[in-house]
Amino acid sequence: MASCCYPADLFSWVQNLPPITEWQTNSMSICICSSSSSSQPSLNLSVTKNLQTPSVSFSIVANFSLSFSLWTSKPIKTNSKSLKLLDDETISSFLINLIEDVLSYSSNKCKSSIRVPKLDFGSNFKDMFNLAFLTVSFLICIYEAPADLRSECLASLKTELTNCRLREGSKSLMKIIGSNLEEQWMRSINLAITNWTSELEVTNRILKTPSPLFSYSFSTFEFWKVQLYCPVIAMDIESSSNPLADERLLFSLRHHQLEGVIQFNYRVIIQEKWVDVIATIDNIRCDVIRLVNETLMAKQGVGTEEKHFPSRISLHLTPIMQTNITSVSVGKSSDNPTREIELEKSIETSFDPPNTFLGLKLSVGETVSTSMKPWKFEESVHGYSAILNWFLHDSMDGREVSSSKPSKMALINPKAWFKDRYASAHRPFTKQGGVVFARDEYGNGIKWKVDKSAIGKTMDWEIKGWIWLTYWPNKYRTFYSETRRLEFREIVRLTIA
């Protein structure tokens, strides 16, 4: 019989397991999650001793009337002289194995020499261990669990993975393993969520993926950073065209994730009668990254070049407590496009037949050319919130891409800017299809004037944002287009000193 632990503190259970010599049976287990009905199956974590060697194996077990294993760890050696089944070093190695198992579920792995570092016991080790084990359970549940167990357990696991403690554990773990492995970790999770959501859509059920599961922020060294990930399939659809995309195109569009980075530098300058808090853009980066390899994308989809692209980014920076704020100032928006008008006039004369007037033909031709940057930047203020907006414009007619769709004539025009958009010399994206907005172009910054009574206090700022992704056909022949939107919210802080 499994003991019950909700929310699941798997670390404490593993850490306090007695040595094998004290076991009454060959295995012990704990409930990871269960259905609301006591008669329904549950998902358990089980530990079993190996009779041939002094080692144990952990398993994730579907607990039906006849239980069966969905996942089993590598054998873990035990120390017969220890008062507990596993010592700290062994548990640390076990955590590394769990992390490597999560990374192995990424279909789009890159060859790399980067390895998971040794993890020492620290203040957040418990939360990191629980996060890793519940993430493995989440993936196993999606790919291996029977249908009558999957739904409720996934809902329970999603709730646990988004609680405050595990969000902090996630932040600590991502900092330790580094950005490259973090991206692979998120691709593993978001590929699984994409597969799960696709399965739910078949039955007309919708999964709302909360952005806190895929975003985090930190403040350090006069620097704010927000990192976010979201599978494209989980983003809200703002608009889509008819007819609907065919299944192969849908496969390509769905199997991508948005990866975003928002970085600000900030300074605190103490003046004689007030304090200036200045935030300047360091880097705003958005990329749309495929979740499966090229072979699968070509086999089940329509290739790697059909995907969404960033079309609009909106950021709101707001001090949470505004008692000490006296004003906010922003810089200018990017210049409006120049409009050049050329007039061509010509006069033609000809001799007409007799008994007619001399014909004088006047032809006036007017050519209008517009010079426009594909991305327009605007700054504005609402209360004490600074609002930053980047809009992508159609270079053919000047319309905002996120709120419009191309005409059918534009879709079949091979010279339209959005055709061959990842290879053209005038593309508004990076070669990989993302965008980078750097400080060299948006460096004026935002300035809040703060009362000197705030000196010595720590103040919180909210970074709230929206990112729009749009699909217009690239090389594939289709009239389908759509725009999706993601909303996120994170808190950063600074000390007035």
What CA–CA distance (Å, rounded) separates 398 from 228? Answer: 30
Q: What is the pLDDT of residue 36?
A: 64
Q: Give the SS3 label for residue 394.
A: coil
Positions in the chain short of pLDDT 50: 1-6, 210-212, 338-348, 356-360, 364-369
> What pLDDT digit, counting tens, does each position of 286-329 carry?
999 999 999 999 999 999 999 999 999 999 999 999 999 999 99
Which amino acid is residue 193, in one-letter code?
I
- 267: region left, alpha or beta (phi > 0 left; psi from -120 to 50 alpha): beta
Q: What is the pLDDT of residue 309?
A: 96
In this structure, the number of other CB atoms found within 10 A of the CB of residue 55 comes to 14
Q: What is the pLDDT of residue 267?
A: 95
Smallest CA-to-CA distance from 316 within 383, 392, 409 is with 383
- 421: region left, alpha or beta (phi > 0 left; psi from -120 to 50 alpha): alpha
What CA–CA distance (Å, rounded) separates 344 from 364? Answer: 6
Give residues with Cβ within 8 angstroms of 231, minimum separation 6: 190, 191, 193, 194, 197, 209, 254, 256, 257, 258, 291
What CA–CA distance (Å, rounded) separates 294 from 303? Answer: 7
Q: DSSP code of 39?
A: T
Smallest CA-to-CA distance from 285 within 306, 267, 264, 256 is with 264
Phi, psi at 41, each rounded to 5°? -70, 165
Q: What is the pLDDT of residue 232?
A: 94
pTM of the model: 0.87
> What pLDDT digit, counting tens, does each position of 222-278 carry?
999 999 999 999 999 999 987 788 999 999 999 999 999 999 999 999 999 999 999
Do residues 460 and 491 touch, judged by C-beta distance below 8 A?
yes
- Structure tokens, 256: 């991508």
User: Measured at the alpha carbon of residue 419, what is the angle toward residues 413 and 420, in degrees to the nearest 5?
Assistant: 140
Q: What is the pLDDT of residue 343?
A: 43
Looking at the DSSP bridge assignments, the partners of residue 436 are 285
Q: What is the pLDDT of residue 372?
A: 61
